[in-house]
Amino acid sequence: MLGTLTPSRPRGILGSRLAAAAAVLLAAGCASLQWHKPGTDAAALARDLAECRHSGRTQAQTETLPRAFTSPTPLATTPRAQPVVIGSNQRDADILLLEQDLTRACMEGKGYRLVPADKQ
């Protein structure tokens, strides 16, 4: 019908994931989170986080199909420490999500938990 606008919506899995990610970011607001474990100093936290990130990255790369495209380029991180990337494809997005899940599981396995930055 002429003159009628149809709202566009995200298409496919990537569009759904982007919509879900946007909803999460909106729900999170500006709350900044950080890892906390009672009795742990900054050096131990940095070391444990680096270990977990490396482990998560390695495991995520091996649990997915071989890379057919270029790697995503991290542009920034959200207040929840999630990477914001450009130049990615669906596989790269899946790897990043898996890497974040594995890193979180590793840190929680070491006794850490994510807390608002002002509530250590």
Does 40 reside within a domain?
A: yes
Nearest alpha-carbon partner for 94 in 49, 63, 115: 63
Does 45 reside within a domain?
A: yes
What are the tens digits of pLDDT across the range 49-85? 999 999 999 998 887 665 555 555 666 677 777 777 6
Number of domains within the chain: 1
pLDDT confidence band for 22 (50 / 70 / 90): low
Which token pair is 80? 């929840």
Does 17 reside within a domain?
A: no
> What would the mean pLDDT of 25-33 be, rounded to a whole number?
63
Does 110 reside within a domain?
A: yes
- Is 118 buried (19+), middle (13-18) or exposed (0-12) by CB count in 10 A? exposed
Nearest alpha-carbon partner for 33 in 120, 119, 116: 116
Does 112 reside within a domain?
A: yes
Nearest alpha-carbon partner for 48 in 2, 114, 107: 107
Q: Which domain holds residue 74?
A: 32-116
Nearest alpha-carbon partner for 103 in 81, 77, 79: 81
pTM exceeding the 0.75 threshold for the entire prediction:
no
